[in-house]
């Protein structure tokens, strides 16, 4: 994927608006074609124009974006794990587990609660005893190494359109809040809601504060933030790829299914939610996994997983 050099201040607004204008034009063309097929070509026929969205200057509206496979290809915690392995935070055995989880996630396109719980527990054990400031500093480096070129340009443009309209834009993710905050800041977003790991005197204890920010917990976080910010949820937008986020998407007046899994795609179509798919075909064309030079077993396992997936299809 090309670097995000196009996101310079001089061109950013025009680029985001151009992407949205193109998508809106495509949607309008499809609707017009369908109506003409049903009613025939009529003199003076003009379908009603779609209202502009996001609404410029509507400061009681905001946008909430899921992170994994919505804003970023793959899962942030896997990319973070890859960076920690490079820095010798853990051994090859743990890397193999991270690699398999990432491969499964990219092939299936959905979050498996058992897999995600396993990864969270592994990550907590890895960071236990380390200082928060140390992990934040490393997180900045890992973003540049493994995450920056995995941002979906289409989703990035959607977020920028909300910012250009004067609205706040938040990431809402089960990823660690420190990682989510780094990503939000690098993308110029307002901030992030994420899973909070317990720390005492600036050192991680290896425990969570409460539970992971996942499923219904995301909806509760958005509801609480909207109340604190004085937002009107009916005027807000939410974006996600996963059926696990249906509670969050159902809260707002403008839900979007981005790169949706099968269950979310079906749910979105039934409720006439807007869909955007920035992948090649129904699945991402490339399978990205945490890997390191010389770890041949991981490459072999990945090839076997891809082959198995193709046979099942």
CA distance 181 to 14: 26
State phi, psi for 204 to the nearest 5 degrees: -65, 135
Q: Are strands 203-208 and 197-200 parallel, antiparallel or unpaired?
A: antiparallel
Cα-based distances in Å from 71 to 46, 257, 295 = 35, 12, 28
Which residues on adjacent β-strands are paired with residue 184?
Answer: none
Annotate 49-84 with b (16+ C-beta within 10 A) or e (fewer). Answer: eeeebbbeebeebbbbbbbbbbbbbbbbbbbbbbbb
Catalytic site residue from 68, 241, 245, 261: 68
CA distance 79 to 102: 9
Residue whose structure tokens are 């005893």: 129
CA distance 152 to 16: 12
Tokens representing 216?
């219904």
Could you tell me where the DSSP H helices lie in 165-215?
Answer: 177-186
Catalytic site residue from 43, 58, 66, 277: 66
Q: Any catalytic annotation for residue 59? A: no
Q: Any catalytic annotation for residue 68? A: yes
Contact 224, 196 (CB under 8 A): no
- Which residues belong to the active site? 66, 68
């Amino acid at each position: 994927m090309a670097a995000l050099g196009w996101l310079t201040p001089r061109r950013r607004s025009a680029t985001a608006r151009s992407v949205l204008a193109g998508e809106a034009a495509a949607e309008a063309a499809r609707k017009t074609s369908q109506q003409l097929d049903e009613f025939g070509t009529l003199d003076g026929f003009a379908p009603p124009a779609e209202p502009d969205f996001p609404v410029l200057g509507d400061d009681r509206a905001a946008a909430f974006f899921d992170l994994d496979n919505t804003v970023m290809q793959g899962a942030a915690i896997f990319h973070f794990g890859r960076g920690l392995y490079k820095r010798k935070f853990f051994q090859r055995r743990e890397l193999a587990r991270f690699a398999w989880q990432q491969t499964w996630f990219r092939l299936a396109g959905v979050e498996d609660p058992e897999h995600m719980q396993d990864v969270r527990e592994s990550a907590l054990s890895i960071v236990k005893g380390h200082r928060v400031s140390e992990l934040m500093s490393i997180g900045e480096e890992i973003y540049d190494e493994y995450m920056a070129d995995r941002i979906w340009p289409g989703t990035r443009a959607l977020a920028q359109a909300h910012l250009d309209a004067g609205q706040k834009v938040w990431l809402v993710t089960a990823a660690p809040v420190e990682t989510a905050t780094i990503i939000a800041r690098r993308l110029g977003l307002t901030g992030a809601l994420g899973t909070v790991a317990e720390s005492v005197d600036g050192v991680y204890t290896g425990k969570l504060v409460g539970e992971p920010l996942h499923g219904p917990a995301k909806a509760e976080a958005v509801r609480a933030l909207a109340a604190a910010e004085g937002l009107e949820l009916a005027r807000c937008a939410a974006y996600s790829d996963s059926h696990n986020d249906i509670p969050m998407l159902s809260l707002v007046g403008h839900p979007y299914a981005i790169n949706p899994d099968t269950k979310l795609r079906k749910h979105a179509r039934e409720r006439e939610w807007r869909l955007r798919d920035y992948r090649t075909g129904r699945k991402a064309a490339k399978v990205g996994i945490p890997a390191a030079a010389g770890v041949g077993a991981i490459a072999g396992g990945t090839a076997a997983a891809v082959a198995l997936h193709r046979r099942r299809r």
